[in-house]
Amino acid sequence: MAKKFQNFINGKWVDALSGETFENRNPANWKEVVGVFPKSSKADVEMAVKSARGAFDAWRLVPAPERAEIMKKAGDLIVARKEEIAQQMTREMGKVISETRGDTQEGIDTAYYAFGEGRRLFGATVPSELRNKFNMTVRQPIGVAGLITPWNFPMAIPSWKLFPALLCGNTVVFKPASDTPATATTFVEILLAAGVYPQALNLVHGSGSSVGIPIVEHPEVDLISFTGSSAVGKVIYGVAGKDLKRVSLELGGKNAQIVMDDGNLELALEGVLWGAFGTTGQRCTATSRLILHEKIYDKFIDMLVTRTAKLKLGNGLDPSVEVGPVINKGQQDIVDSYVKIGQQEGAKVLVGGKPCTEGDCAGGWFYYPTILGEVMPNMRVAKEEIFGPVLSVLRIKSLEDAIETLNSTRYGLSSSIYTENVNAAFKAMRDIQAGITYINGPTIGAECHMPFGGVKETGNGHREGGWAVYDFFSDIKTIYVDFSGKLQRAQIDNR
């Protein structure tokens, strides 16, 4: 019998008010039910927001260093349960065990970063233009934060939102992805065990339409942090904008790795294999395009096809497996449809190009790592996010051509260039339109203490990670202290 999970609302573990449920299944073995979860609705969201609003004054008045101690304890608890969490994550979303261990470690690192930030949250002291007057700024919590997270990083991405939101003194209504609710539940259990006030942290399972949009629409939710597709992000931005809510959007990508003719080809090969097929290509930073200089195009393609054909598919709990399943049947169909679209547009399937349904792939939603050659910049497979193990390869003649090709999509999240020419590297850093640029590294591999996000349709200008996310989850209050004992008028011509 599959384990039954619940929402956490107003300090209690509860079923959805409707009593309805949904199943969470293992994408590597669809017969395996990981758990049964509450199928919540607007009514459940209403209760969760009421709890978060009611707890706000108590939680915001906890000193930030004390809240930080709670984040530190949460990190310690994740360390103690790291392997358990990684195995649970692999079962519910499919990526290989080494990656889910890394996903869990990202949560640990983010917890410890939050611990340090609790004794910073810096303001500024600034000289006044008037005598006997003191000017400063302080950071303050905003209110109730609605946090909506995707399935591909079930620990890391929620940690990027939950730790800073709570550390800054906000209370939370958290809606995880329906494909990865078990890891989210474990995370909430850990935060509660660490000492987060029960009413301040609310977990509501369910779909985007029945839970996510009601969170965004709710007048008592003050800010929204969403990671997901650009299409959904636009809807959220439009809905939240009606009430002038603060909104952080981390959206899609069509990331590219450039390999110049002077690049280290062996290093570039390792980079693109990891960038394109790590997490089965299901990362917003995944390498979806490979831009090769014409002088090394044929040689590099031969190297890449040979290595790609040898990648082992299967259940991610097997340490020898290198590529797990895609998340579900719907995503498998989307990936396959894009491969067919590419072929119709004139691209050539060099390896892969179809679902894997035999051997270790039987019973799950697997797709062979796929390389499309002879792709042109105007093709859909060169412009649209696929979110699967499909790499489109484009040919260029110069650095300027490479950068122009890289910039020719509506997205701008991550980017990469392999070159031994320092001048070319610096020109790429300057001219590439992306929030992240790697020199001689793949497009994936963000570190938790650095800002994460992109430009164009990849987001709305905010950043997750590092110090930047604390700017989003806190308000700056400017304070003037006049101890002159008389009326002084600033910005009046007193001189």
Catalytic residue among 92, 117, 284, 361: 284
Phi, psi torsion values for 237, nearest 5 degrees: -60, -40
Q: Do residues 48 and 210 make contact, with C-beta atoms less than 8 angstroms apart?
A: no
Tens place of pLDDT per residue across the chain (495 aa): 899 999 999 999 999 999 999 999 999 999 999 999 999 999 999 999 999 999 999 999 999 999 999 999 999 999 999 999 999 999 999 999 999 999 999 999 999 999 999 999 999 999 999 999 999 999 999 999 999 999 999 999 999 999 999 999 999 999 999 999 999 999 999 999 999 999 999 999 999 999 999 999 999 999 999 999 999 999 999 999 999 999 999 999 999 999 999 999 999 999 999 999 999 999 999 999 999 999 999 999 999 999 999 999 999 999 999 999 999 999 999 999 999 999 999 999 999 999 999 999 999 999 999 999 999 999 999 999 999 999 999 999 999 999 999 999 999 999 999 999 999 999 999 999 999 999 999 999 999 999 999 999 999 999 999 999 999 999 999 999 999 999 999 888 766
CA-to-CA distance for 394 and 376, rounded, in angstroms? 6
Q: Whole-model pTM?
A: 0.97
> Quick one: angle between helices 97-117 and 156-167, nearest 10?
10
Catalytic residue among 250, 322, 385, 464: 250
Whether 217 is catalytic is: no
- Write down the pLDDT at residue 292: 98
Which residue in 332, 266, 336 sits closest to 304, CA to CA? 266
Collapse the DSSP code of 107 into the 3-class scheme (helix H, G, I; strand E, B; otherwise coil) and give the result.
helix
Residue type, 301: I
Residue with tokens 């894997």: 356
Report, in angstroms and rounded to the nearest whole number, the Rg of the chain calculated over CA atoms.
Answer: 24
Length of the chain: 495
Which residue in 29, 47, 27, 26 sits closest to 38, CA to CA? 47
CA-to-CA distance for 197 and 131, rounded, in angstroms? 44
Whether 448 is catalytic is: no
**What structural domains does the chain harbor?**
7-251+459-478 (3.40.605.10), 255-439 (3.40.309.10)
- Write down the pLDDT at residue 1: 82
- Write down the pLDDT at residue 492: 80
Neighbours of 72 (CB within 10 A): 17
Q: Do residues 141 and 194 make contact, with C-beta atoms less than 8 angstroms apart?
A: no
- Write down the pLDDT at residue 495: 67
Residue type, 258: I
- Write down the pLDDT at residue 491: 83
Q: Do residues 144 and 171 make contact, with C-beta atoms less than 8 angstroms apart?
A: yes
Q: Do residues 3 and 23 make contact, with C-beta atoms less than 8 angstroms apart?
A: no
